[in-house]
Amino acid sequence: MTDSSAQRRILVVGAGYVGLTTAACFAHLGHDVICADIDRAKVASLSAGVVPIRENDLDVLVAEGIAARRLRFVISAEAVAPSCEFAFLCVPTPLRPDGETELSYLLSAIGSVAPHLAPGSVVVTKSTVPVGTAGKIEAAMGRPDVALASNPEFLREGSAVHDFLHPDRIVVGADDPAPAQRVAALYTGVEAPVHITDPTSAETVKYAANAFLAAKVSFVNAIAAVCEAVGADVDAVLTGVGTDHRIGSAYLQPGPGWGGSCLPKDTRALLSVSSDAGYVFELLEGVIRVNEQQLDRVAAKVARIISPEWGDGRLDGRTVALLGLTFKAGTDDMRGSPAMLVAERLHAAGARITAYDPAVRDELTGRPGVDADLASVIEVQPSPFDALRGADAAVVVTEWAEFADLDWERAATEMAAPRVVDARNLLDPQRMRAAGFAYDGLGRR
């Protein structure tokens, strides 16, 4: 906690994933935080302490902030802006179909708030934006008496609160070091190195970090394919690789492909920015291509384990049970979920799809980031056994711990045939085979 002398009044524009985490965590650090959003129902819900997203400890911090009167939610950012020293922009910046980042929400937000800010205040961009956006925001502000800084977020869904309060680094970019230092001071009480730079470099840090993580996952998935081809065991290979301190063990885990709301958007946005600047980023193009191939490989594994004799990948009349729908365990977010991308391929091959996810209890239609046509053909079930009943194969696509602890012996009796594709290498192959399953993982012998 900061002491009262260090308390600042902060306006957070946007109560989405990043905005709500930012607001709750700054309030926890002792600041007076006002979080504004245009969604009246969301503001009313949050004011009552009801958090609409699944995120560890976020509901606790929201309740704590409200009780301490350090956190409140409002509809109108303009009305409270004059009393705030900092205005954090945490609005969506989705990718458009043409690969460009949609900045209209961000520019609209700053256009509404900037005229009401007090001289000497600081606007802080927290939303992920294309390199060079700082200049556009500054022009939209039209306030030479208000400073601008970039403070990119590095939050992982499922551990966002922890990542905010225990970050690897705090990055602040500004043309003038004075406002950058003021922004950095808001994190007093957080033990992390502070990296102060210019706005363009700060914006690039965010994209570069996510592009590197995507590259690491694509590399691991490619190595899993190599292991299958040559007869090596990917678990042994990656244990040997991960002990090298130059590489490390983080993100050295094969899976169905990377996804979520950040990596797909940010890698494609970086490609677009690079192309516009005249650089052909072939390495990143390859990273994205390998990820698409991995999704295809998982779908192909399902076809092979069900009907190896067919050879054409068709699954007409077969039922496939998806275990997991969210893009990762610990969240209810389905935006960019590999599970849905695998489901899309299985449906195209003619499969009937049932599914279970502990964080998804109702139908998929209308959920953010889920294609309506695909949502209509996935039968969400209330338990894993309901999803597995009568299935010709199961696919573990999200790494929920309960799937590793599932009663697979019972599952074998529920299924039309005990077959499983473990796209997370979550299960014990020996146990699965002992339970009567045909088992196929990623890169495992």
**Catalytic pick among 25, 35, 90, 262:** 262
Respond yes or no: is residue 262 known to be catalytic: yes
Provide the β-strand partners of residue 73.
35
AA identity, residue 256: P
Q: Tokens for 441, please give them.
A: 């993982």
Distance CA 343, CA 326 (A): 12
Q: Say if residues 15 and 9 touch (Cβ distance below 8 Å).
A: no
DSSP secondary-structure letter at 4?
G
Q: Is 271 helix (H, G, I), strand (E, B) or coil?
A: helix
Q: Which residues of 86-123 are buried (b: 16+ CB within 10 A; e: fewer)?
A: bbbbbbbbebeeeeebebebbbebbebbbebbeeebbb
CB atoms within 10 A of CB 361: 11
The string of DSSP codes covering 374-432 is: HHTTEEE-SSHHHHHTT-SEEEE-S--HHHHTS-HHHHHHHSSS-EEEETT--S-HHHH
Distance CA 347, CA 377 (A): 8
Residue from 319, 440, 6 nearest 187 by CA: 6
Distance CA 445, CA 442 (A): 9
Q: What are the residue numbers of the active site?
A: 262
